[in-house]
Structure 1
Amino acid sequence: MYQMREATIADAGPIADMVRARSAWLSERGLGECADMAEEYGSQAGNPDFPVWVLEHETDGVVGCTSHFGNESLPPWAFTEDEQAEPTLFLATTFTRPNPHRLGRLIAWWSLDRAAGLGLTWVRRGTGQEQLSRYYQQAQGWDLLRVADRRGHKVFFLQRKATRVPELPELMAGRGI
Structure 2
Amino acid sequence: MFIMRPATGDDVSGVASMITARCEWMERHGLESWREDVDDLAGQAGRGFMWVLEAEGRIVGCTTVMTQALPQDWTAEEAAEPSLYLFTTATDPAYREHRPGTLIGLWAVGRAARQGRRWVRQGCYFPELVKYYKTQGFALVKEQDRNAERLYLLARRAERLDLTPLGLANHPHE
**Aligned positions of 1:46-125 closer than 5 A:** 46-48=46-48, 51-59=49-57, 61-71=58-68, 74-98=69-93, 99-125=96-122
SS at match of 2:77: helix
Q: Number of aligned residue pairs: give it.
A: 167
TM-score, structure 1 normalization: 0.90
Tell me which amino acid in the other structure corresponds to 2:157.
K
SS at match of 1:27: helix
Q: Cα RMSD over matched residues?
A: 1.3
With over 3 angstroms needed to count, the CA separation of the structure-2 counterparts of 1:173 and 1:148, relative to structure 1, is closer
Where do 5+ consecutive residues of structure 1 fail to align? none
With over 3 angstroms needed to count, the CA separation of the structure-2 counterparts of 1:173 and 1:160, relative to structure 1, is closer
Q: Which of 150, 153, 160 does residue 149 from structure 2 map onto?
A: 153
SS at match of 1:77: coil
CA distances 1:67-86 after superposition (whole Å, capped 9, x unpaired): 11012xx1222211110110
SS at match of 1:111: helix
Hey, which bits of structure 1, 4+ residues long, moved more than 3 A? Answer: none
**1:29 CA displacement:** 1.2
SS at match of 1:44: helix
Tell me which amino acid in the other structure corresponds to 1:157.
L
TM-score, structure 2 normalization: 0.91
Q: Which of 128, 131, 137 does residue 134 from structure 1 map onto?
A: 131
Tell me which amino acid in the other structure corresponds to 2:85.
F
**1:21 CA displacement:** 0.7
**1:173 CA displacement:** 4.8
Tell me which amino acid in the other structure corresponds to 2:74.
F
If asked which structure has higher relative contact order (CA below 8 Å, sep 6+), I would say 2
Q: Distance in 1 between matches of 2:168 and 2:80?
A: 36
Tell me which amino acid in the other structure corresponds to 1:151.
N
Q: Is the 8 A contact 2:103 2:168 kept in 1?
A: no
Tell me which amino acid in the other structure corresponds to 1:170.
P
**1:38 CA displacement:** 0.9
